[in-house]
Amino acid sequence: MAGLSYTKDRMTDEHKLIQDILEGDKKAFSELIDRYKRLVSHIVNKMVKSSDDRLDLSQDIFIKVYQNLGDFNRQCKLSSWIGRIAYNTTLNHLGKKQAILWDDISPDLSMDTLPAMSRLLEDEIASNDIAAKIRDEIGLLPSPYNVLVALYHLDEMTYQEIAEITGMPDGTVKSYLFRARQLLRERLAQKYKLEDWKE
Amino acid sequence: MKHLTDQLIQEYLDSREKKFRIEVEDHAVYCPECQEKLEQYRELYAGLSVETEPILENSFNLSALAGIEQLELKRSRKVLATAVSVVGGLSFLIASLIYFNLLSWARAVSGAKSIFSVAVSPVLETVSTLVKELNGNLEILAFAALALILFHLLDHSLVRQKINRI
């Protein structure tokens, strides 16, 4: 019941924020950026490597949000809506540079499909820092696996919310996440003993 | 003995539901192999929840807002440019009508008993009256039209420059 009340309060708060933005309040839009730049960063950073491109793309995303806010269906979650804009805008950006399509990505993610680790990464792993080890392994995950992992574990989104953002069925989101985590564990277990993990 | 599957462990860590807890924890207590796998997953989940890449800085808000302002400026300039080109175009049309003395042709058309005369006549009469009144100020009208066209061209080039800069 408390959760329901929280959700209702949050929605009311979001509706007020949207109304303020539509009335031309720039501070309200800055507030919206503060709330959702983490989500946008997670999507853009995972899909785009160049830091300059990331910044330009993030700006394009928030401009699109501003331009289309009047069309936002207030029955939906604002985070999912903004996430979808971020995801589609990034895909379009990538499409211009390299045509990456969902169909091109094999659902049979395996250890062989991941690129070999660079010298730099190997040096970093030698430092025995588990966070660095996991970060490096996540960095090697191809899209969309890395995006799904970030949305689930960093933004704490549900399968349904991730499905709304990516346009994938709930079941596909779940199975991709499962495969990605299984692969990460296997790769880490293959390289390190459990004692090393805990250091 | 049947070991815990990766799927079951992940479902347990994702949901923490009682049905998974009993199955996973009870088994892991007596199975070192599954205990190790469970611990690995726990460490992995903890690592996955750690922010590893930079989030947009505070200065980003200002640049995004500046981008929006530029966009709004661009839009308002476009509206202005369209209005100026419409007025300029109309002025040029009227000036041309006077210059080429097309009014006489228009009168001839309106005078003819064609099937179009009923519909066309009132319009031509209005234009005719307007032109008659402006006829004395032909130079002023032509100058105004020219000035509007020049202004539009200047405005257009300024907008283009601004767009390129954005």
Residue in chain B closest to A32 (alpha carbons) equals B61
**What is the pLDDT confidence band of residue A102, given thresholds at 50, 70 and 90?**
very low
Higher pLDDT, B133 or B40: B40
Residue among B7, B54, B67 minimizing CB distance to A63: B67
pLDDT in tens, B48-65: 888 877 788 888 889 899
Alpha carbon of B56: minimum distance to chain A alpha carbons (Å): 6
Range of lowest pLDDT (A63-77, A159-173, B67-81, B152-166)? B152-166
3-state secondary structure chain B: CCCCCHHHHHHHHHHCCHHHHHHHHHHHHHCHHHHHHHHHHHHHHHHHCCCCCCCCCCHHHHHHHHHHHHHHHHHHHHHHHHHHHHHHHHHHHHHHHHHCCHHHHHHHHHHCCCCCHHHHHHHHHHHHHHHHHHHHHHHHHHHHHHHHHHHHHHHHHHHHHHHHHC
* H/E run at residue A64: helix A51-68
CA-wise closest residue to B82 among B152, B148, B149, B147? B152
Please tell me the predicted confidence (pLDDT) of residue B52. 75
- Arithmetic mean of pLDDT over chain A: 80
Question: A70: Cβ–Cβ under 8 A, 6 or more apart, which residues?
Answer: A22
Highest mean pLDDT (candidates A125-134, A177-186, B1-10, B57-66): A177-186
Chain A residues whose beta carbon lies within 8 Å of the beta carbon of residue B71? 63, 67
Higher pLDDT, A199 or A78: A78
Cα–Cα–Cα angle for A18, A45, A171, rounded to 5 degrees: 80
Read off the pLDDT of each residue in A5-30 and give the average, rounded to a whole number. 83
The answer to whether the beta carbons of residues B132 and B69 sit under 8 Å apart is no
Q: Do A30 and B53 touch (CB under 8 A)?
A: no
- Arithmetic mean of pLDDT over chain B: 76
Please tell me the predicted confidence (pLDDT) of residue A117. 40
Please tell me the predicted confidence (pLDDT) of residue A169. 94
Q: Is the pLDDT of residue A65 over 90?
A: yes
Residue among B37, B48, B56 minimizing CB distance to A41: B56
What's the rounded Cα separation, in Å, for the pair A51 and A32? 22
- pLDDT above 70 covers what percent of chain A? 74
Question: B30: Cβ–Cβ under 8 A, 6 or more apart, which residues?
Answer: none
Whether the ipTM is more than 0.95: the answer is: no
